């Protein structure tokens, strides 16, 4: 059985004080989690302050990005070694905002994913299509091509450490959400692609999240789909009440 993963991507929100206050509010109400995982991904500046608060709790820690080298003259970048040192277990790679605003290529996303694995991090690799691509009937080939490109040279034995997040670009921060049926269809296509690459046993073990305007009022129906193994949550993870309801989906 795949353990569902609910991840809060805080993007460029929350000062250190705001981040620690939010984590304290989450932990005050969260309680133990036995059949699911939950993590928060604060901005880099808040990681060191949040890490001791979540240590030993039901809430895990992730980062929003990394650079695929352990160290070096890469001004402004953060390495996988730095992330593990501060207490991260997960890292988001290839988010559509990184691909769009910072021109991250499929090849760079692949390097980041492999660097994360090499340093003991669980990469959450994002894939998704734009509205014009979906309207043109290209959604599935676009997304499955991104999956294939992200996993170049990733050996089968590392795949259980990889999480794939399907985030249709047109649904991120817009209030629009893929219908549960549409989301399930794309998740099934991604899992079929994994089966082609690695075989059905590994494909069955890999967790595939849905992201894109996930909210308290749609999480239950999304999580009822057989191939949706969690959620990558943006705006709704910035408030304790809404993120707790998503973590505690029924």
Q: Which residue has the tokens 């590392």?
A: 158
Of the residues 95, 119, 122, 187, which is catalytic? Answer: 95
Mapped onto helix, strand or coil, the DSSP state of residue 130 is coil
pTM of the model as a whole: 0.96
* C-alpha–C-alpha distance, residues 44 and 51, integer Å: 11
Residue tagged active-site, from 37, 140, 167, 187: 167
| Local confidence pLDDT in tens for the 250 residues of the chain | 899 999 999 999 999 999 999 999 999 999 999 999 999 999 999 999 999 999 999 999 999 999 999 999 999 999 999 999 999 999 999 999 999 999 999 999 999 999 999 999 999 999 999 999 999 999 999 999 999 999 999 999 999 999 999 999 988 777 777 899 999 999 999 999 999 999 999 999 999 999 988 999 999 999 999 999 999 999 999 999 999 999 999 9
- Check residue 174 and give its pLDDT: 78
Phi-psi category of 100—alpha, beta or left, where left has phi over 0 and alpha has psi -120 to 50? alpha
What pLDDT shows up at residue 178? 84
DSSP lists the bridge partners of residue 230 as 5
- Is 95 noted as a catalytic residue in this protein? yes
């Amino acid at each position: 059985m795949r353990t569902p993963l609910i991840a809060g991507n805080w993007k460029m929100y929350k000062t250190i004080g705001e981040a620690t206050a939010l984590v304290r509010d989450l932990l005050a109400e969260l309680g133990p989690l036995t059949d699911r995982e939950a993590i928060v991904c604060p901005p880099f500046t808040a990681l060191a302050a949040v890490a001791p608060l979540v240590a030993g709790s039901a809430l895990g820690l992730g980062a929003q990005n990394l650079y695929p080298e352990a160290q070096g003259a890469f001004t402004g970048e953060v390495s996988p070694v730095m992330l593990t040192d501060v207490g991260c277990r997960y890292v988001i790679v290839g988010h559509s905002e990184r691909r769009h605003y910072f021109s991250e290529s499929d090849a760079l996303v692949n390097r980041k994913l492999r660097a994360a694995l090499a340093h003991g991090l669980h990469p959450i690799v994002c894939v998704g299509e734009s509205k014009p691509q979906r309207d043109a009937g290209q959604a599935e080939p676009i997304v499955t091509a991104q999956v294939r490109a992200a996993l170049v040279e990733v050996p089968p034995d590392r795949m259980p450490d990889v999480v794939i997040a399907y985030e249709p670009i047109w649904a991120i921060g817009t209030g629009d959400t893929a219908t549960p049926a549409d989301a399930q269809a794309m998740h099934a296509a991604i899992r079929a692609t994994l089966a082609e690459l690695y075989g059905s046993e590994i494909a069955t073990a890999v967790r595939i999240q849905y992201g894109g305007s996930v909210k308290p009022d749609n999480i239950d129906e999304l999580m009822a789909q057989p191939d949706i193994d969690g959620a990558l949550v943006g705006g709704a993870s910035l408030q304790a009440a809404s993120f707790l309801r998503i973590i505690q989906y029924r």
